[in-house]
Amino acid sequence: MREPDLAIHEEDCAPRRVLELFSSKWTSMVLHALHALHAGCCRTGELQRSIPGISKKMLTQTLREMERDGLLSRRVFDVVPPRVEYSLTALGREFIEPIEMLYNWGRTHADALDRLGQRPRSRRRRSSATAGHQ
């Protein structure tokens, strides 16, 4: 029998860091929206419209964190009114594959997710409606 790798349970191990990165549902949703809906680049308003339920404040906070972490780059255009675009960085594009795998698994196994617990019907309907846009 193989000995368990205890290093995977250390506080700063890679699996914990990746789970911490995605502990906010908005991070993966922003990555997915930028990749799947906006070809890797878009303005803040477009991004907010493509992620139902996210407030402007939460989107701004998430974008700042993602920029700080190196997942996004922010480009400010010198125009009036101000124009800002967010783009996936090379590191951000590396995270697309596991994110898309999770989204595809979720679509395929929606019934299993529904069995996890009772979810409000309106939330389930909204999730199904947005899944068609992805």
112 has a pLDDT exceeding 80:
yes
79 has a pLDDT exceeding 80:
yes
What's the pLDDT score for residue 128? 47
132 has a pLDDT exceeding 80:
no
What's the pLDDT score for residue 18? 81
What's the pLDDT score for residue 7? 62
Cβ–Cβ < 8 Å for 91, 20: no
Cβ–Cβ < 8 Å for 62, 27: yes
Q: In this prediction, what percent of the chain has a pLDDT beyond 90?
A: 54
Q: In this prediction, what percent of the chain has a pLDDT beyond 70?
A: 81
Burial (CB count <10 Å: 0-12, 13-18, 19+), residue 34: buried
- Stretch 101-119: mean pLDDT: 86
- Stretch 89-114: mean pLDDT: 91
Domains of the chain: 24-131 (1.10.10.10)
45 has a pLDDT exceeding 80:
yes
